[in-house]
C-alpha cells in the first residue's frame, strides 16, 4: 500500500513568487482540463479533469496498475504546496548529489547543506572534484531524488506523468521544473 506521489517542482520560483506561481499553475491545470474543482467539506479539492489521460504515460500506467493494483483513474487530489520545501522521492537507495558543473557524484552525504537550506533557504555545496561551488538547488541527484523549491504540484496515485506534459507545464510556469516521485 502507500501513496505513489509525483511532484512537479518549480526550481526557480522565489519565496516571494511562490503564492502567485502556485495559483497560476493550478489555474493552467484547470483551464487545460487536467484537473477539475470539486466541492468537498466546505472547501474545493482538485481531482482528475476531463483531459487527465493526456497528462500521463498510459503505456507504463497499464504496467503499474497491474503490479500495484491501482485503479484505472487517478484517485486522489492534486495539491499545490507553497513555501520552502525539500521535495523528495522516497525511494530506497540513498541518493548522490551530482555536481552541476562536472557531473561528478559527491562522495559525502551533504547533510549540513541540506539542513542549512531547510532552515534558511540558502546553502552552497562545493564539488570536491572540480572545486566548483553552486547553490544546493542547482545540484542534480541520482534518480531525481531531491528538488529544493518553493512551489510543488503533488499528483497522488496518478499514472506516470508524461514528459510532454511536464515540459508544457514548465513552459507555462516559465521556469525549470523537476519531477520527483516515489512511494510516501
What does DSSP say about strands 124-126 and 97-98: parallel, antiparallel, or unpaired?
Answer: unpaired
For residues 6 and 96, which CB has a smaller minimum distance to Zn ion in the complex?
96
What gap in Å lies between CA 27 and CA 34, rounded to an integer?
10
What gap in Å lies between CA 13 and CA 179, rounded to an integer?
15
- The C-alpha R_g of the chain, in whole angstroms, comes to 17
What gap in Å lies between CA 20 and CA 165, rounded to an integer?
21
The single residue listed with the C-alpha cell 530506497 is 92
For residues 70 and 129, which CB has a smaller minimum distance to Zn ion in the complex?
129
For residues 3 and 133, which CB has a smaller minimum distance to Zn ion in the complex?
133
Q: How far is the CB of 133 from Zn ion (least distance, A)?
A: 9
For residues 45 and 129, which CB has a smaller minimum distance to Zn ion in the complex?
129
* Dihedral over Cα of 172, 173, 178, 183: its sign: negative
Q: How far is the CB of 136 from Zn ion (least distance, A)?
A: 14
Q: How far is the CB of 97 from Zn ion (least distance, A)?
A: 10
> Which residues in this chain contact Zn ion in the complex, by CB under 5 A?
99, 101-102, 104, 127, 129-130, 132
Q: How far is the CB of 132 from Zn ion (least distance, A)?
A: 5
Residue environment code for 120-149, b if the CB has 16+ CB neighbours within 10 A, otherwise e: eeebebebeeeeeeeebbbbbbeebbbbbb
For residues 74 and 137, which CB has a smaller minimum distance to Zn ion in the complex?
137
Q: How far is the CB of 145 from Zn ion (least distance, A)?
A: 18
Amino acid at each position: 500500500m502507500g501513496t505513489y506521489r509525483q511532484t512537479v517542482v518549480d526550481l526557480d520560483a522565489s519565496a516571494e513568487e511562490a503564492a502567485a506561481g502556485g495559483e497560476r499553475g493550478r489555474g493552467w491545470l484547470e483551464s487545460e482540463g487536467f484537473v477539475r474543482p470539486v466541492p468537498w467539506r466546505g472547501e474545493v479539492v482538485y481531482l482528475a479533469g476531463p483531459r487527465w489521460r493526456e497528462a500521463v504515460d498510459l503505456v507504463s500506467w497499464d504496467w503499474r496498475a497491474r503490479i500495484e493494483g491501482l485503479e484505472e483513474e487517478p484517485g486522489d487530489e492534486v495539491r499545490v504546496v507553497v513555501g520552502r520545501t525539500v521535495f523528495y522521492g522516497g525511494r530506497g537507495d540513498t541518493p548522490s548529489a551530482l555536481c552541476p558543473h562536472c557531473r561528478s557524484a559527491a562522495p559525502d552525504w551533504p547533510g549540513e547543506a541540506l539542513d542549512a537550506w531547510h532552515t534558511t533557504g540558502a546553502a552552497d555545496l562545493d564539488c570536491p572534484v572540480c572545486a566548483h561551488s553552486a547553490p544546493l538547488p542547482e545540484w542534480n541527484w541520482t534518480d531525481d531524488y531531491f528538488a529544493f523549491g518553493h512551489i510543488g504540484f503533488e499528483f497522488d496515485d496518478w499514472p506516470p506523468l508524461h514528459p510532454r506534459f511536464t515540459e508544457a507545464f514548465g513552459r507555462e510556469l516559465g521556469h525549470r521544473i523537476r519531477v520527483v516521485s516515489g512511494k510516501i
